[in-house]
Amino acid sequence: MCSFTFRLVDGGLMFLLLSLTRISAQREMSLNTTTISHYTESPCQLFDKYETTVTEGEALSLPAYRDLSELVWASVTEFTWYRNRTQELPSSEEERVHHHGPVLFFLPLLINDSDQYYTYWRKGADTCLIFVTEVIVVKAQPFDHSVLFNDISESAENIAIPCPDPVEKLCQDGKENLVWYKNFSLIPNESERNLWVYGASKADEGIYTCVCTWEHNGTVLNTSASRRLKIQGM
């Protein structure tokens, strides 16, 4: 098989990727240290493995590692992505699924994208790390509660509901549009990364969703994240 590799040559690209590198894993998978020699001349070290649940029809930027800022990935010279260790994935932005170095894009997600995705990081001839992500794509309707991020359970009078990192990072440079929903109804005039609930009561309980609308190659895309608010002591 002919192997495609991505080489970092542009600091501007590194800045773009750093703005898209965080994604929260709803359920972490167990990891046993091992080596894998698949598609490599010398064994590669399995570094990390995690799982994320996402919604069909939305766009996803999937970093190989949950927090790339913790790794010195900028010194890596080659990245190769595979679906289920057999299907090599392209870097061309014309493809619906493609990668920019350590980040894989689904534009948008389809139900049959559910699978394991492998990233091979090579740093010189003798260093190779493997990152594995299990992607579970669920239907958009009816709403699947498995996509919820951590609940917010508060008794304070004023409560901040932060937009989860995957969406907040996409909209952080101000070029995109961020909106909020409560129980899937639009909340007018709310576009900040933190949604504040003032004078909180039981009536404010529910599912809060932030949605980032952004554009890629002329295509308008949406990425959302939801979490439940619970009011304590009332």
C-alpha dist (Å) from residue 151 to 26, 169, 228: 11, 20, 5
Q: 173 falls in which pLDDT band (50, 70, 90)?
A: low
Residue 77: predicted pLDDT: 76
What is the average per-residue pLDDT within 101-112? 95
pLDDT > 90? residue 23: no
Query: Higher-confidence residue: 111 or 42?
Result: 111
For residue 102, give the CATH number of its domain: 2.60.40.10
What is the average per-residue pLDDT within 132-141? 96
- Inter-residue contact 63 to 119 (CB < 8 Å): no
What is the average per-residue pLDDT within 193-208? 96
> In the 8-state DSSP scheme, what is residue 10?
-
Backbone angles phi, psi at 108, to 5 degrees: -100, -170
Task: Assess whether 110 and 226 both reside in one domain.
Answer: no
Q: 9 falls in which pLDDT band (50, 70, 90)?
A: very low
Cα 234 from Cα 230, distance rounded (Å)? 10
Give the CA dihedral 209, 144, 100, 71, nearest 10 degrees: 80
Query: Higher-confidence residue: 214 or 72?
Result: 214
Cα 192 from Cα 221, distance rounded (Å)? 19
- Residue 152's DSSP bridge partners are 229
Of the candidates 27, 45, 52, which has an alpha carbon nearest to the alpha carbon of residue 104? 52
Residue 185: predicted pLDDT: 97
Q: Which stretch, 45-49, 75-79, 124-128, 156-160, has highest mean pLDDT?
A: 156-160
Half-sphere exposure of 124 (CA within 13 A, CB side): 3
- Inter-residue contact 182 to 197 (CB < 8 Å): no
Task: Assess whether 82 and 159 both reside in one domain.
Answer: no
pLDDT > 50? residue 25: no
Task: Assess whether 90 and 43 both reside in one domain.
Answer: yes
Cα 226 from Cα 133, distance rounded (Å)? 21
The whole-model pTM stands at 0.79
Q: 59 falls in which pLDDT band (50, 70, 90)?
A: very high
Task: Assess whether 90 and 198 both reside in one domain.
Answer: no
Task: Assess whether 152 and 210 both reside in one domain.
Answer: yes
Residue 75: count other Cβ atoms within 10 Å of its Cβ.
Answer: 11
pLDDT > 80? residue 36: no
Task: Assess whether 128 and 202 both reside in one domain.
Answer: no
Number of domains in the chain: 2
Task: Assess whether 152 and 212 both reside in one domain.
Answer: yes
Q: 66 falls in which pLDDT band (50, 70, 90)?
A: confident
Dihedral sign from CA coordinates of 164, 167, 173, 179: negative
Domain of 177, in residue numbers: 148-231
